[in-house]
Structure 1
Amino acid sequence: MKHAIGLIAVLVLAILAVPVLAEIENKTATTLSWREANRIAVARYQEAVQKYQNAVDRYQIARQQFIAMRERVGSFRQANETPELINKTKVFLSNAVNKGINNLELVKKWIDKINISEEKKEELISTIDIHISNLEGLMDDIEAIETKEDAIAISKQIRAEWTSARVAVKKAVGLAMVHRTDFVINRLEVLADKLQQRIDSLKAEGKETAQMQDLLDNFNDHLETAKEKYELAKQKFSEISDVGDANKLFAEGRQFLREAHQQLKEAHAKLVEIVKEGRAQNVSVETEISQTAEEVGGEA
C-alpha cells in the first residue's frame, strides 16, 4: 500500500481540527455560594486548559518522532515492519487520542461553567462523555497494534470517532450558548414585569410615567426580537446531525445568536435610560433590578 504510513499521519492529523470555544463568563456573584461555585468552576476550567495544552505538547513531540522514524525506514510497503516503527506509531496514535479526549474535557468544563440549568448541563455533558468513552476504548486497540494493517485500521477508527465527536461538540456548544441566552432573556422578562408593576404603581400615585413607559416599551420590543432570533438559533443548532452540514448550521445558528445578543444590548441600553429617568423623577427602580438579580442569579 503506497505511502501507508503517510496515510496514518493524514488521517490522524485532521482529527483535532475543531477549535474549542474558550469563552469565559465573568459575572458578579450575588451570594457567597454562587461566588464559591464560580471559583471552583473557573479552577476546573483552567485545569482542563492546562491538561489540553500538555496533551498538545505530547502529541507534537510524538508526531515529530513519528515523522523522523518514517523518513528513516520508508513506508509500510516494507514486508517486515520494525518494532521501533510500530512503537512510534502507537505513541503517535495514543497521543492523538489523548489530545482529543482533553479537547472534549475542555468543552465539558466550559459547559459546566456557564449559566444554564443543571439539567441542561447534564444533558449536554452526557453527549460529550459518550465520545470520550469511545476514544478511551480505542486505547487498548492502539496498544494491540502489531502490523501496518492494524495501524491503518485503528487510525481510520480514530478519524471516524473524532468526526462524530466534532459534530457532537458543535451541537453541544451551540445549544449551550442558546441555553445561556435563554437564561438572560428569562431574567430580563422577569425584570420587565417588575418594572411594569412599578410604573403602574407610580402612575396610580399620580406621578409622571409616560417617558419611563415609552422606554420600557422599547425595552420589550428589543427583548421580543431577541427571543425571535434565539428561537432561530436554537432551531439551527438542534438540526446539527452529521458532518456534512454541521459547519453550515453552526455558522447560521451563531449568526442568529449574535443578532439576539445585539438586541439584548439594545434592551440593556434602554434599561440604563429607565434608571436615569427614574432618578430624574426622584423615583428609584434599582430595587426591582437587584431583586431580579437575586432571584435568577448574576447581574441584571
Structure 2
Amino acid sequence: MTTPSEPGYDRTDPSLGAIMSERRHLINLAYRLLGSLADAEDVVQETYARWYAMSPQQQEAIESPGAWLTTVASRVCLDLLGSARVRRERYVGEWVPEPLPEQAEWIGGRPGGITADPADRVTLDESVNMAFLVVLESMTPAERVAFILHDVFRYSFAEVADIVGRTPAACRKLASSARHRIDASQALTSPPARQADIVRAFKAAWEAKDINALIGLLDPNVTAIADGGGVVSAVLRPIRGSEQVARYAIEISALVPGMTILERTVNGQPGLVAKRDGVIVSVMAFDIANDRVKHLWAVRNPDKLRPWTED
C-alpha cells in the first residue's frame, strides 16, 4: 500500500487526504476491538490495502468512503477475534491487552526508531482502561464488535447489523449482553486522584519492601496477572490473595536488583513502569475499587512494550 511517505504517493489527489484522515478513527476502533496495537495496525494496513486494490471507478462509486473503511476494518477485526481465541490458547502463560502510555510518551517502536504518526495514537478514555479491556476479552467476537460499535462509537444498530451480518434486533441483544458483563464487573471505582495516591503508596511500599503496607493496600481477594508471552520469565498463572501478591512483589525486588519503579499513566489511568539499565521491562496497570487494589496486570512481553519511551 502506498502511504504519504512512500514513493508513488500522489499529493494532487484530493480524495487521498480524506481517506487518510480516517486512519486515527480506524486505529482507535481496532485497538478497542482487539486489545492489541500491533494487531490494530495490521488491520488498518489491510483495510487501506483493500481500498487501494479497487479501481478509481469502484472507489468513486462508494458513497461514504469513511463508512466503507469502518465496515471493512470491523469485519477484519471480527475475523481476527475468532482466530484470536485459538491463538491465545497456545499463548505461553496469561494474555493481557497491550498497555498504552500517555500521549507525551508515545513512540513508534518501529525499526530504525521512526516516531509514530499522530494518527496511530489511541485516544485514552474509559473505554481503553485495562479493566475494561479485560472484560471485553470475556465476550464473544460478535458481542464485542456490537458493543464497541454501538456503545463506544455510537453507530446505530442498523449500521452494526450491516457490519456483523445480523439483524438489528440481534445486534441489540448482543450489545445488551455485553453491557451486562461490563456492569457486573464494575465496583465502586475510586476517583482518579485517589487512585494515583494508592498507586504511589504501592510504589513506596514496594520499594521499601514493606510487606504489611503492601497487604494493606490490596483487596483481600486481589488478583495479579503477569504477561511475559513466553519471551521473558513471568508467572504462568494468576496470583490470588493479598499476602501472596505482596510476597511475590517483594520477591521480584530481590530477584531483579537495580530495578527502578516510576509512576506513569497506563491506558489513561495511574500505573507504574519498571526500568532496568534505562530500559522499560514491565508496565503495570491497576484496577482500584473501594480504595484497594482489586486487580494488577504486569506486562513484560517486549512485543507489547514497543510504544513506550525508554529515556
What's the TM-score, normalizing by structure 2? 0.30
Query: Looking at CA atoms only, which structure, 1 or 2, has the larger radius of gyration?
Result: 1
What's the TM-score, normalizing by structure 1? 0.30
Query: Greater helix percent: which structure?
Result: 1
